Every structure is written in structure tokens, then in C-alpha cells.
Amino acid sequence: MSNLIILGAQWGDEGKGKMVDLFSERFDIVVRYQGGHNAGHTVFIGGRKYILKLIPSGILRPGKMAVIGNGVVIDPAALIEEIENLEAAGLSVKNHLAISNRAHVIFPFHRSVEKISEGRPGRVAIGTTSRGIGPCYEDKAGRRGIRMADLIEPDALGPLFQSLAQDKATLLHAFQIEDEADFDGMLQEYADYGRRLRPMVCDTSLLLSRAMAEGKHVLFEGAQGTMLDVDHGTYPFVTSSSAAAGGACVGAGVPPTKIDAILGVSKAYITRVGGGPFPSEAQDEYGDIIRNAGNEYGAVTGRPRRCGWFDVPLLRYTTTVNGFDSLLITKLDVLDEIDEIPVCVAYRLGGRQVTEMPATRAAMAAVEPVYEKLPGWRASTKGVTSYDELPQQAKDYLKFLEQQTGVEIGCVSTGPERNQTMVIAGSRLERLIAT
């Protein structure tokens, strides 16, 4: 297997971090291509918990190279803190991390601007992570953003910063937001971040191109999930980047012709954090049962996640957008205690059954789920590593998801540890990772 994308097939938090960590053994380089420190990957290795926000989880494998691509937005303070935490845990980060010189930089005023857009009267709040992600991407698209290449050059940084900071001060003043930002202090602070990060900043597109030419294998890791993609997700309740597979090429600067396969990660159920439509949300006590069993709280913000049942139309849609070669199903064990497991197999809208994903906010909010109930297995699957050892009902459940979505299930995870995983014998995934 040469170059592969692993990304979320739902609304994020599918367990991508664990899957990337698991497969990164077979790759030389792991690349993040979008998002920022709004993402949180939790990986457990040998009982130790690592939370990664910006750095690809490949860093946890000794000797692997981790790349932060141009499509990522970087809060340098958050990145430096993450590097220091990982180094304190004994990992070698600085020598194995490359940061794109074209990635955009998040400043504290991006968070202040986000307060305006989230808190303005009459505006539907998105329920963002409040990390300044959206406003930083706005500046990128508005062609006034500041990139890592500028951050590491004090002479370039000053004038760009003054112009951007002035815009923000005017905006904050117009919206009567009291912001006591010390812009001069901020510039000094950021110039210092630039000095510290400089040794890791380079043209990562070129780095990847050369590595691929030498026959190195690259794994691209998505953050958030397809339904949070700015184009294909449940707009406007989305993040501001291209989380779908196409985003990997844009956000890493690699040609689409270099991608060999695309893997979608999905929970055996579904969750979402923040506002927005959620057709198969369990609004009864099962929402709490799943949340407790699956410890469904945001890795970054600690917010309780909204929980619900596997949504087939949504998975079919994200398969259309991404062209998944195989699905990796996580957290099967969370459903161990449930008697009957509903699966959303279709949507009804205005009394009619619909097969496509509605595009408008109103239609998405009006969608009613059509459920089919499957018998639960009422037995522990925690840590099971062989498909044959799964209870028959759990196998039937997985088969049902496979038939309904039209994508093979190549891998199933039954616990947070690296080894609590099975690759399905005879699957396309097995063949992909064997080559």
C-alpha cells in the first residue's frame, strides 16, 4: 500500500486517531491536511493517554515523520504546548515534525472575532470550539491571512500583523466588544513563536513529493468528519475546512493521482458536538446510556457529545463524497448492553421517503429517521480481536451495516487500546495493508 487517506465518515470523533496510529506502523509519513486545534485525537498506548490536537498521531511511532500540511490553521501557542507535552512524555517530536510554510496562523483576535459571530443577536450559533478556527480561514479566503512563512520572518511579520490587527480592532470596536488586546505585546510573542518553530517549517508539499519519489509511503489523516466539511457537511453547522477526502490533496499539496485508497472511520453508532441537525439523535435515555458507555465527551472542549443511532443514509452520502474503499468501525463494544439496536435506514421528509441528503438547513431539521431494529448481543465484545469470537448478533449487526451502506467493513475496534482491533480476513482492507 502506498498512499492512503483515513478520514471521518460522520460528524467527527469517530476514533480516527486510534486507527491512524494503528496503521501508521506501515507508513513512513503521516500528514494532517486541514482543521486546527479544534480537533482532538485521543490515543491510548500501554495504558497511557495521549491527546493530540495538531500533530498527526504518527508521531507516537518512533522514527515516523509527521507533517502539518498547508490546509491546517495553526495556533502557535497550542502547537508549542503540544510539542512540549509530547517531548516531556519521552517522544522525539522536533526532529520528526515538518510544518508547512503555507499553513495559516491563528491569532488571539481570531477568537475575539468568533465571539462576535457566535454571540450576535439574531444569529444561530454554530456551537464552535471557540478556537478561532473559522475567522482564521476567513482571513485566508479573504487574502489577508498570515502564514507560517511570514511568522518565521520578523521583517515580513511586522507590517502584515499591523494591517491585520488594525482590521480586527476596527471590527471589534464596531461591535462594541471590549478587547484589551495588547497588539504590540502580541507581535513580540508571535515573533518569538516564529523563532521557536522555524527549524520545523518548510515546503511540505515538496517534502512529500520527494518522499513519494523515493518510494516512501504516506498516510493522510483527516480531522473532524465529512459531515463537518465546509462544502459537503450540514452547512452552516460545519467547520471551515475541507475535511472530505478531496481536502487531502489541496491541504497537503499532493496530486490526486498519488492517492491509492481511502478509508472511512465510523462509530458503530453516531455522535455530534455542537449545534445542527442530527436525524438519528437518541433523545431518550439511550442518549445517556451511549454517552456513558462510550465516554462521549469532547477531547478538546470536554463538552458532552450528542449521541444517536447509526445513520445509513448519512454513511451512503459520505461514501458518495469520499469513495471509501473500506470502512473501519469503532466502539462496537459500546453497544454491548443494548437489547435492541435501532439503525436509521432511511429518511422521511414531508411524508415521502428520501434517499438523497437534503441540502438546506430547514429540510435537514425536518427529516425524520426510519428505523429498523436489530437484536443486541448482550455480551461483552470489549477487547475481542477475532471476528470469529464476536457474538452472532454482533456479526449480524456488522453485516447489516455493510449491506445497507454498500461498503465493506474492513476493520472493527472493540476498545481504546492499539491491540483491541481486528482486521477482517479476506477484506479489501486486508489486501491493501498487505501490499
Q: What is the CA radius of gyration of the chain?
A: 22
Taking the least distance from each CB to ligand IMP, the nearer of 24 and 129 is 129
Binding ligand IMP (rule: CB under 6 A), the pick from 6, 9, 133, 328 is 133
Binding ligand IMP (rule: CB under 6 A), the pick from 212, 228, 328, 424 is 228
Taking the least distance from each CB to ligand IMP, the nearer of 282 and 422 is 282
Which helix (H) or strand (E) element contains residue 118? helix 108-119
- In the block, which residue shows the cell 452520502? 317
CA dihedral 34, 35, 39, 42 (to 10 degrees): 20
Site string for ligand IMP, 33-72 (x = CB under 6 A): -----xxx--------------------------------
Q: Indicate if 184 belongs to the active site.
A: no
Number of residues forming the site for ligand IMP (CB under 6 A): 20
Regarding 131 and contact with ligand IMP (CB under 6 A), the answer is yes
314: three-class secondary structure by DSSP: helix
Tell me whether strands 326-330 and 261-267 are parallel, antiparallel or unpaired: parallel
Please identify the residue of the shown chain whose CB is closest to the bound ligand IMP. Answer: 274
CA 431 to chain centre: 26
Q: Indicate if 284 belongs to the active site.
A: no
Write down the least CB distance from residue 334 to ligand IMP, Å: 17
Q: Which residue, among 406, 399, 411, has the nearest Cα to 375 in the 3D structure?
A: 399
Write down the least CB distance from residue 240 to ligand IMP, Å: 6
Which helix (H) or strand (E) element contains residue 248? helix 246-252
The phi and psi torsions of 61 (rounded to 5 degrees) equal -100, 120
Regarding 274 and contact with ligand IMP (CB under 6 A), the answer is yes
Regarding 376 and contact with ligand IMP (CB under 6 A), the answer is no
Regarding 273 and contact with ligand IMP (CB under 6 A), the answer is yes
Taking the least distance from each CB to ligand IMP, the nearer of 183 and 237 is 237
Site string for ligand IMP, 340-369 (x = CB under 6 A): ------------------------------
98: three-class secondary structure by DSSP: strand
Q: What is the 3-state secondary structure (H, E, C) of 371-390?
A: EEEEECCCCCCCCCCCHHHC
Catalytic one among 21, 28, 37, 41? 41
Q: Which residue, among 134, 349, 363, 323, has the nearest Cα to 234 in the 3D structure?
A: 363
Binding ligand IMP (rule: CB under 6 A), the pick from 129, 204, 322, 405 is 129
Single-letter code of the amino acid located at 259? I
Which helix (H) or strand (E) element contains residue 246? helix 246-252
Cell numbers linked to 223? 480531522
Regarding 391 and contact with ligand IMP (CB under 6 A), the answer is no
Which positions are catalytic?
13, 41
Residues in contact with ligand IMP by the rule CB under 6 A: 12-13, 38-40, 126-129, 131, 133-134, 223-224, 228, 237, 239-240, 273-274
